[in-house]
Structure 1
């Protein structure tokens, strides 16, 4: 099983700003959300813990009780949004009313398929599907990972929403990769 954990709240996630490579820290609420994951995730016998190198994911991992076991994986860094970085969708749509991060690349941004290639590499490197793996990362990257886990195009991630400090579970039904649970927050899983 693979547990996907989105980092806790940041100032930019509250403001709904595209937060790719900018290393925005957790808010106090985000730190509390991350700590609230500890009693829930602590019940797992994780064989492997992976985290994005960005502090909001690493701090969530540590506050959830796995910082000492985590392997930093640079492939788990969030999508590079280029000129969309730090901007809201509403701000961008002033100039381009149909804009979507999923369908309208920005100058300097990483291509959606490049993000898909990174998550495909992560999935391929997970090894034994019976192992329990925790992955601490970011909303768009994890949405793409969920899509790719199920053999869907990366664009399918646009149909998956993730709240801060949420947990999602990827597993198998027989041999078929499935999304077992999606976007569960600590209050609902404890």
Structure 2
């Protein structure tokens, strides 16, 4: 099974300097253009049989653009949503720094910000959806997952069996693509955060 793990295109939140998370902002015109270029590239180089996407509109719209090019089934999966950042969703970074400053000593992994989820809860949610994908769609050779930066970072750490306490901080550009492959007990990383189609 090959997984093309893709971040959504640029969203309105990127221009507003706000905490996004569960705030449901649409794609910008640039984001739509990024998604079209990504979809053209993937449809020309991969035989995507199934797309699974977060329901947040920036990801779902990116996935719909990809679906239009790949002509395959699109499944919306709530467990692929971005980190639940509770009261911070949609709040300006300047206001958040005053009202909800990040603790100097950091936030314990089991502690959630008000109205949100903890790092442990987030990781568990991503572990669950990856397990579901590997179990329920194991006969599918190539699946595209369209999600968010934090979700993708957790997906990659889960796929490589890296414990939460030792997580590797992976960055994903707008519409960046990671390709991983599961073969029996092995995980192959073909490439990470490719955006060459945007050049």
Q: Select the structure that is richer in helix.
A: 2
Look up the SS of the partner of 2:31 in the other structure.
helix
C-alpha distance in 2, partners of 1:130/1:51?
Answer: 16
Q: Is the 8 A contact 2:51 2:72 kept in 1?
A: no
Match of 2:117 in 1: 110
CA RMSD across the alignment:
2.8
CA radius of gyration, larger in: 2
Match of 2:190 in 1: 180
Match of 2:48 in 1: 46
Runs of at least 5 residues in structure 2 that lack an aligned partner in the other structure: none
- Structure 1 residues 184 and 109: alpha-carbon distance in aligned structure 2, compared to 1, 3 A threshold: same
Aligned match for 2:146, one of 131, 136, 155: 136
Provide, for residues 29-87 of structure 1, a one-character-per-residue CA deviation record: whole Å limited to 9, x for no partner. Answer: 00000000122110311232101111111110122235762111111111110122224
Match of 2:13 in 1: 12
Do residues 56 (structure 1) and 58 (structure 2) align? yes
Look up the SS of the partner of 2:47 in the other structure.
coil
Number of equivalences: 189
Runs of at least 5 residues in structure 1 that lack an aligned partner in the other structure: none
How far the C-alpha of 1:165 sits from its partner, in A, is 0.9
Match of 1:36 in 2: 37
- Structure 1 residues 140 and 126: alpha-carbon distance in aligned structure 2, compared to 1, 3 A threshold: same
How far the C-alpha of 1:178 sits from its partner, in A, is 4.0
Q: TM-score, structure 1 length as denominator?
A: 0.84
Q: Is the 8 A contact 1:171 1:180 kept in 2?
A: yes
How far the C-alpha of 1:169 sits from its partner, in A, is 1.1
Runs of 4+ in 1 over 6 A off after TM superposition: 99-102
Q: Is the 8 A contact 1:57 1:138 kept in 2?
A: yes
Look up the SS of the partner of 2:52 in the other structure.
strand
Match of 1:83 in 2: 87
Q: TM-score, structure 2 length as denominator?
A: 0.80
C-alpha distance in 1, partners of 2:121/2:104?
Answer: 22
Q: Is the 8 A contact 2:50 2:140 kept in 1?
A: no
More moved, 73-82 vs 153-162: 153-162
- Structure 1 residues 102 and 46: alpha-carbon distance in aligned structure 2, compared to 1, 3 A threshold: farther
